[in-house]
């Protein structure tokens, strides 16, 4: 909006300059005024100061004066409209939206906070939006136009994420997870330190550019550290070594309008009471939904691939289920997850 305001204000200035130029030329050519007198007469007419005429005007001069007054009123009106629109639109209206948004954020619980709204932040936001997660974005600059921010599920806070007051305003003490995607490792490290002190139970995922910084971030309290360059290089190499496997894994997590997911992670606490503590065989998901349990996360965060049928679901564990979209829907309906 600031860019639009500057363009509109520049147009108003150009119109005023054009008015002064036309008036000066008009008085000079039609009334034979010297250039300085023509400019003076144009200025006092356009600004409606009301001083007397430099020299007596003939009919042509009077018509020119009338046109200058009318055109100056139009230019002034346009300028006032532009300024008023900016003041109301940028300040008052935005402040009202900001206040309403802050009130909604205060009511959020177990939401996700993303610091930095660059390319990585936008991709993460889109993914979380597809899963209907409540997200609070933090960036030092307000996006000029982004359809992801709807102030219903996706909220935005303008501020410095490295400051504690900004994190608190985003509800860091009530949040479930934090994704920090700021451009520099130093800023991400600072956010991790601050967030871990405010909310010791918070799940923190951050990005890093080198292993040294990644180790420091883990020491600072990050649960997971992502290095985009390493992941990108490994992915490219995998496309050469095992291309079919990579394409298959991509297909499992592919999302579009008709296919949301082929994988589902179900936490122990999300299971209905009658299923908690049961074995995988007792769940009998293959017969009931068509889905297959392909992974089990133990309470101490170890992953077991293709767990045995007698594996029991313990408190703090989770299961990873594979199935076609319609089978996943049956699973969610069975466990009342939707």
Reported in sequence order, the residue ranges of the chain that DSSP labels E, i.e. its strands, are 112-115, 135-139, 154-158, 177-180, 203-207, 224-226, 263-267, 292-297, 303-305, 318-322
What is the pLDDT, as a whole number, of residue 87? 62
What is the pLDDT, as a whole number, of residue 318? 93
| Same domain for 221 and 117 | yes
**Residue 91 falls inside a structural domain:** yes
| Same domain for 264 and 170 | no
**Distances in Å between the alpha carbon of 332 and those of 18, 265, 266, 268, 326?**
68, 11, 9, 14, 10
Return averaged pLDDT per consecutive 10 residues of the chain, 338 residues in all.
64 81 83 83 74 73 78 79 66 68 88 92 89 91 77 89 94 95 93 95 93 90 91 88 84 57 85 90 91 93 92 92 88 82
Count of alpha carbons within 13 angstroms of residue 164, beta-carbon side: 7
| Same domain for 177 and 114 | yes
Q: How far is it, in rounded angstroms, from Cα 193 to Cα 96?
A: 32
Q: How far is it, in rounded angstroms, from Cα 51 to Cα 44?
A: 7
Range of 75's domain? Answer: 2-103
Domains identified in the chain, total number: 3
**Residue 305 falls inside a structural domain:** yes
| Same domain for 127 and 94 | no
**Residue 238 falls inside a structural domain:** no
Which residue, of 82, 103, 124, is where some domain finishes? 103
Backbone angles phi, psi at 312, to 5 degrees: -95, 145
**Residue 27 falls inside a structural domain:** yes
| Same domain for 63 and 46 | yes
| Same domain for 222 and 165 | yes
**Residue 222 falls inside a structural domain:** yes
What is the pLDDT, as a whole number, of residue 328? 86
**Residue 197 falls inside a structural domain:** yes
Q: Which two tokens stand for residue 186?
A: 């130093």
| Same domain for 229 and 115 | yes
| Same domain for 137 and 209 | yes
CATH code of the domain containing 228: 3.40.50.720
| Same domain for 47 and 12 | yes
What is the pLDDT, as a whole number, of residue 260? 56
Backbone angles phi, psi at 303, to 5 degrees: -105, 130
| Same domain for 268 and 199 | no
∠ CA 176-178-182, rounded to 5°: 170
């Amino acid at each position: 909006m600031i860019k639009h305001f500057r363009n509109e204000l520049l147009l108003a200035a150009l119109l005023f300059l054009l008015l002064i130029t036309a008036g000066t030329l008009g008085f000079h050519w039609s009334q034979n005024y010297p250039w300085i007198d023509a400019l003076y007469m144009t200025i006092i007419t356009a600004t409606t100061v009301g001083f007397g005429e430099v020299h007596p005007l003939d009919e042509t001069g009077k018509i020119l004066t009338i046109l200058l007054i009318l055109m100056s009123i139009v230019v002034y009106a346009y300028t006032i409209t532009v300024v008023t629109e900016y003041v109301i639109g940028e300040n008052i209206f935005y402040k009202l939206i900001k206040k309403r948004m802050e009130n909604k954020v205060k009511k959020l619980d177990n939401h996700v906070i993303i610091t930095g709204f660059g390319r990585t932040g936008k991709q993460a936001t889109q993914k979380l939006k597809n899963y209907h997660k409540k997200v609070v974005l933090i960036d030092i600059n307000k996006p000029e136009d982004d359809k992801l921010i709807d102030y219903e599920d996706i909220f935005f806070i303008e501020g410095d994420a490295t400051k504690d007051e900004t994190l608190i305003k985003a509800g860091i003490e009530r949040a479930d997870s934090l994704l920090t995607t700021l451009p520099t490792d130093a800023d991400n490290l600072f956010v991790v330190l601050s967030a871990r002190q405010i909310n010791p139970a918070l799940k923190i995922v951050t990005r890093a550019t080198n292993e040294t910084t990644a180790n420091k971030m883990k020491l600072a309290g990050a649960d997971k550290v992502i290095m985009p360059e390493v992941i990108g290089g490994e992915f490219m190499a995998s496309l050469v070594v095992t291309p079919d496997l990579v394409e298959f894994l991509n297909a499992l997590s592919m999302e579009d309008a008709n296919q949301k997911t082929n994988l589902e992670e179900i936490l122990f606490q999300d299971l209905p009471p009658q299923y908690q503590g049961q074995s995988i065989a007792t769940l009998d998901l293959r017969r009931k939904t068509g889905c297959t349990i392909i992974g089990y996360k133990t309470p101490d965060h170890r992953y077991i691939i293709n767990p045995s049928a007698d594996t029991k679901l313990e408190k703090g564990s989770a299961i990873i289920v594979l199935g076609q979209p319609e089978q996943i829907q049956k699973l969610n309906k069975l466990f009342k997850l939707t």
